[in-house]
Amino acid sequence: MSLIPSLLSNRSTLLDPFSSDIWAPFGSNNEVSSFTNARVDWKETPEAHVFKADLPGLKKEEVKVEVEEGRVLQISGERRVEKEEKKEDEKWHRVERGRGKFLRKFWLPENAKVDEVKASMENGVLTVTIPKLPEKKPEVKVIEISG
């Protein structure tokens, strides 16, 4: 049984809100980056949709948050290789910290107020908050009973 609603089964994973696909390096070189696995949590509260992404070591200037095509949230950025002077008496034994570009996209539901998106970054965690439209309650028309 799929966790993805059948409504979304015809959409590409690019627009699938439940997609965990990582859209790894874009640009001309095909280098695969270990930083492309930027993980994002998506929580819906009664008031908003809240996205949290762990982006350790990045500054807010290195991250971009956009809404494209009306309802597609896009989070992208890049951790660049640190420029260091090579010293003869230094030797690298291991390099595990991720670097490279990342791009994540999420198809937002119709109740998202895309014109009121707010983003903040603290301690390497990006938080994107998108308020929700008020829930439409079905109108109830009272019918008078004659007789």
Q: What is the pLDDT of residue 110?
A: 92
Number of domains in the chain: 1
User: Is position 145 within any domain?
Assistant: no
List Cα–Cα distances, 60 to 57, 77, 78, 90, 125, in angstroms.
10, 9, 11, 31, 10
Q: What is the pLDDT of residue 90?
A: 83
User: Is position 24 within any domain?
Assistant: no
Q: What is the pLDDT of residue 37?
A: 63
Read off the pLDDT band of 83 (50, 70, 90).
low
CATH number at residue 122: 2.60.40.790
User: Is position 15 within any domain?
Assistant: no
Residue 105 belongs to what domain range? 48-80+99-131
pLDDT tens for 11-65 read 444 444 444 443 333 333 434 344 456 789 999 999 999 999 999 888 999 999 9
User: Is position 36 within any domain?
Assistant: no
Burial level of 51, CB count in 10 A (0-12/13-18/19+)? buried
Q: What is the pLDDT of residue 57?
A: 85
User: Is position 26 within any domain?
Assistant: no
Across all residues in the chain, what is the average pLDDT?
Answer: 77
Determine phi and psi for 18, rounding to 5 degrees.
-100, 5
Neighbours of 99 (CB within 10 A): 16
User: Is position 22 within any domain?
Assistant: no
pLDDT tens for 100-117 read 888 999 999 999 999 999
Which whole number is the average pLDDT over 67-74? 92
Distance, first Cα to last Cα, the chain = 52
